[in-house]
Amino acid sequence: MGGDHGTHVTVPAALRFLDDHPDVSIVLVGMPDAIEAELKASHRTVGPRLRIQAATEVVTMDESPQSALKNKKNSSMRVAINMVKAGEAHACVSAGNTGALMATARFVLKTIKGIDRPAIAKMLPTRKNTWTCVLDLGANVDCTPQHLVQFAIMGAMLVSATQQKSRPQVGLLNIGEEEIKGNEVVKEAAELLRQSNLNFYGNVEGNDIYSGVVDVIACDGFTGNVALKTSEGLAKMIAEQLREEFQRNWWSMALAGLAWPVLSRFKKRVDPRRYNGASLLGLNGIVVKSHGGADRMGFYWALKQAVNEASAGVTQRIAEQVQQELALLGAMPVAAAAASDSQIS
Amino acid sequence: MGGDHGTHVTVPAALRFLDDHPDVSIVLVGMPDAIEAELKASHRTVGPRLRIQAATEVVTMDESPQSALKNKKNSSMRVAINMVKAGEAHACVSAGNTGALMATARFVLKTIKGIDRPAIAKMLPTRKNTWTCVLDLGANVDCTPQHLVQFAIMGAMLVSATQQKSRPQVGLLNIGEEEIKGNEVVKEAAELLRQSNLNFYGNVEGNDIYSGVVDVIACDGFTGNVALKTSEGLAKMIAEQLREEFQRNWWSMALAGLAWPVLSRFKKRVDPRRYNGASLLGLNGIVVKSHGGADRMGFYWALKQAVNEASAGVTQRIAEQVQQELALLGAMPVAAAAASDSQIS
């Protein structure tokens, strides 16, 4: 039901996904009227691989997580997450309110043993045509070194499970000028990561998100969110400027027409819809958040991310690795005093 | 003397700059032999608008700020900053070691009364073909709300002086998801900024660096550095992908040839050399840091930034505005306990 376009995007994307993935079943959770209207518009009906699960409420995009938790116990996102909890679904995908989704998922599914805070992770493309998993992207504004280590473990397990890499390289986001080596939290996290079982590369800088030098980059949610949004803003500006130059006069427009196959291949490579689908990691169940503004193709990719995670058993992998690391690092006591709690908890 | 290319870049850039700016005089500070060799290679000699000031040492790119301060009292950067202090130069431009430059500038010039920490600021381009001044970009990893307010003041004064904007709009970098409103430092800084004389827009997100919605964005140096480096990495990836698509086969290469005027105009717009020159703000004197890897054109732009600041009297403007704000905000006591000191101090 969520996102800027609601069922108008989610239902057609789900139908297309069903067609392309014969081994997948989908449950559309939400207001039956809205869903049925969309099915009708697509000339489709429910069947063995497609059913509707009714919910009577919808969490709005600007609702507080607290309000969603307290007052919307029969919301579409709550019902969907309940299904994951009950084992009736392998994963939940939502384009709705991020904070409410995270709070609900955390409340219903609980965090994996050994994980203090769930994190939001995303796969971003690199110059080497590989992917970098970056987390946290906004769930935890203040983090302890232990939280950053937990993010690193979760990211590494996501990559090893979904990208078939046995020992993903993990970097710690820092500011790399030789004379400024980051804050105390990052320094201590680096120390812990060096002691861990992870394949720790060391500190990386912002540009390394796109350099492909590591598979996973761990950072606090404030920095990660700024890096992600900065990237969105810059990509938009560059795309606009390229378009403007090709639309400047009849000659450049003619060239754009001629160069269309080249430009469209380029556009496809940098298309942010291909990277849609952020994972809420560290929970006892798979939850994927689609960008609220995603179109059908974007939501389709979020569904793909969820299916990949479910097929690869990401939750189980994280749970196992955390236990190993906890044993190694002596249960990593969380310095609770050093970081205020997440605001969405 | 500094940067990846030393006098091979700085001297020719300075000569070109002299030719283009008949009202500017330049003092080349460093090892006389190296400078004279470059002058000779360019068939130039010293004269009324160009002289050499000898220095016997050079701070290396990987030297610690402490070592530079203690052991290199006759380094080119120290001598150049001494000249600013003595009123023999209006500004100092260096492509050298950032931490050493900042530490030396702070030690020699001291901070402006009311400013606790100097900050590194840069003008970045926007979708509206305007500029956003972003600071701090890495000098201060941990910041109090008061530091962020001081950064906002310094950025606003830089913009009002060099961009002829009487009341620049100031934004505070935050993570804008409705349910996650940033950490305590940012919240308190927003409160202080609302009480200030500045034209405070409110919170902005990473994408707003390039949206042009505000003229100034204040943030801590960790986040700012990550945002800047992330941008560099993404721009590089996008440029490479565009090039790859145009080099894929003979047809796309022919198109690239035809579209060269369009592509080169685009390239010029996104050319990072045009944005070279970061300002060390908050000091009793003007110091501009050129990217260590800058070429001649890049260093030329850093010289331009310094001349613009000197002509506009940025230092004086910051000093005046800080006094006004201090009076208004009741001297803004710095919560020293809440933030460890800058590592380059």
Give residue A11's pLDDT: 96
Give residue A342's pLDDT: 41
Is residue A224 within 8 A of residue A138, CB to CB? The reply is yes
Distance, in Å, from the CA atom of B158 to the CA atom of B318, rounded to the nearest integer, reads 8
Distance, in Å, from the CA atom of A60 to the CA atom of A30, rounded to the nearest integer, reads 13
Is residue A31 within 8 A of residue A56, CB to CB? The reply is yes
Give residue A266's pLDDT: 86
* Domains parsed from chain A with CATH numbers: 7-338 (3.40.718.10)
Give residue A275's pLDDT: 85
Residue of A138, A241, A269 with shortest CB distance to B177? A138
Give the burial string for B273-304 (b: 16+ CB within 10 Å, else e): bbbbbbbbbbbbbbbbbbbbebbbebbbbbbb
Q: Does B266 touch chain A (CB under 8 A)?
A: yes
Q: What is the mean pLDDT of chain A?
A: 90
Give residue A332's pLDDT: 53
Give residue B345's pLDDT: 33
Contact check, Cβ <8 Å, B180/A141: yes
Instruction: Kindly report which listed range (A178-182, A264-268, B103-107, B308-312) carries the lowest average pLDDT score.
Output: A178-182
User: From the candidates B129, B180, B186, which should be mutated to test the interface with A, based on the most A CB atoms within 10 A?
Assistant: B180
Cα B234 to Cα A209, A228, B82: the distances in Å are 8, 11, 38
Contact check, Cβ <8 Å, B343/A181: yes
Contact check, Cβ <8 Å, B233/A209: yes
Distance, in Å, from the CA atom of B214 to the CA atom of B165, rounded to the nearest integer, reads 12
User: From the candidates B203, B204, B226, which should be mutated to test the interface with A, based on the most A CB atoms within 10 A?
Assistant: B226
Give residue A84's pLDDT: 98
Is residue A223 within 8 A of residue B222, CB to CB? The reply is yes
Looking at beta carbons, which residues of chain B come within 8 Å of A235? 234, 238
Distance, in Å, from the CA atom of B178 to the CA atom of B184, rounded to the nearest integer, reads 16
pLDDT for residue A147 is more than 60: yes
Distance, in Å, from the CA atom of B242 to the CA atom of A245, rounded to the nearest integer, reads 14
Query: If DSSP codes are grouped into helix, strand and coil, which group holds residue B47?
Result: strand
pLDDT for residue A340 is more than 80: no
Residue B236 CB neighbours (<10 A):
15
Looking at beta carbons, which residues of chain B come within 8 Å of A233? 206-211
E strand residue ranges, chain B = 26-30, 50-54, 91-94, 119-125, 131-135, 169-173, 199-204, 216-218, 278-281, 286-289
Tally the residues of chain B: 345
pLDDT for residue B81 is more than 70: yes
pLDDT, mean of residues A238-263: 87
Q: Does A125 touch chain B (CB under 8 A)?
A: yes
pLDDT for residue A192 is more than 50: yes
pLDDT, mean of residues B152-157: 95
pLDDT, mean of residues A53-72: 93
Nearest CA in chain A to B211: A233
User: From the candidates B214, B232, B234, which should be mutated to test the interface with A, based on the most A CB atoms within 10 A?
Assistant: B234
Banded model confidence at residue A327, pLDDT cuts 50, 70, 90: confident
Looking at beta carbons, which residues of chain B come within 8 Å of A245? 262-263, 265-266, 269
Contact check, Cβ <8 Å, A183/B236: no
pLDDT for residue A344 is more than 70: no
Residue pLDDT, tens place only, B242-276: 888 888 888 888 888 888 888 888 888 878 888 89
Banded model confidence at residue B11, pLDDT cuts 50, 70, 90: very high
Residues 245-264 of A with CB under 8 A from B: 245-246, 248, 252, 255-256, 258-259, 261-263
pLDDT for residue B183 is more than 60: yes
Contact check, Cβ <8 Å, A99/B177: yes
Banded model confidence at residue A339, pLDDT cuts 50, 70, 90: very low
Distance, in Å, from the CA atom of A88 to the CA atom of B238, rounded to the nearest integer, reads 42
CA distance B48 to chain A (A): 38
Distance, in Å, from the CA atom of B262 to the CA atom of A246, rounded to the nearest integer, reads 6
pLDDT, mean of residues B275-298: 94
Is residue B113 within 8 A of residue B319, CB to CB? The reply is yes
Looking at beta carbons, which residues of chain A come within 8 Å of B259? 246, 252, 255, 259
pLDDT for residue A202 is more than 60: yes
Q: Does A344 touch chain B (CB under 8 A)?
A: yes
Q: What is the ipTM of this complex?
A: 0.89
Look at strands A199-204 and A50-54 and give their pairing. unpaired
Contact check, Cβ <8 Å, A223/B226: yes
pLDDT, mean of residues B208-213: 96
Q: What angle do CA B234, B236, B239 make, to 5 degrees?
A: 110
Query: If DSSP codes are grouped into helix, strand and coil, which group holds residue A138?
Result: coil
Contacts of residue A271, Cβ cutoff 8 Å, sequence gap at least 6 = none
Instruction: Kindly report which listed range (A305-319, B15-29, B198-212, B262-276) carries the lowest average pLDDT score.
Output: B262-276
User: From the candidates A204, A226, A260, A340, which should be mutated to test the interface with B, based on the most B CB atoms within 10 A?
Assistant: A226
pLDDT for residue B110 is more than 70: yes
Q: What is the mean pLDDT of chain B?
A: 90
Looking at beta carbons, which residues of chain A come within 8 Å of B139? 180
**Crossing angle for the helix pair A221-246 and A250-258, nearest 10 degrees?**
110
Give residue B179's pLDDT: 38
Looking at beta carbons, which residues of chain A come within 8 Å of B209? 230, 233-234
Looking at beta carbons, which residues of chain B come within 8 Å of A262? 245-246, 248, 252, 255-256
DSSP B272: G
Contact check, Cβ <8 Å, A252/B262: yes
Distance between alpha carbon A274 and the CA centroid of its chain, in Å?
Answer: 12
Question: Which one, of A222, A184, A172, lies nearest residue B185 by Cα?
Answer: A222
CA distance A328 to chain B (A): 30
Instruction: Kindly report which listed range (A159-163, A265-269, B84-88, B189-193) carries the lowest average pLDDT score.
Output: A265-269
Is residue B288 within 8 A of residue B277, CB to CB? The reply is yes
Residue A212 CB neighbours (<10 A):
18
Banded model confidence at residue B332, pLDDT cuts 50, 70, 90: low
Give residue A300's pLDDT: 96
Residues 208-237 of A with CB under 8 A from B: 208-211, 219, 221-223, 225-237
Contact check, Cβ <8 Å, B64/A205: no
User: For tokens 């704000």, what's the residue?
Assistant: B325
Distance, in Å, from the CA atom of B36 to the CA atom of B43, rounded to the nearest integer, reads 10
Distance, in Å, from the CA atom of B307 to the CA atom of B305, rounded to the nearest integer, reads 6
pLDDT for residue B180 is more than 80: no
pLDDT for residue A331 is more than 60: no
State percent of chain B over pLDDT 90: 73
Which tokens sit at B336? Answer: 């020293």
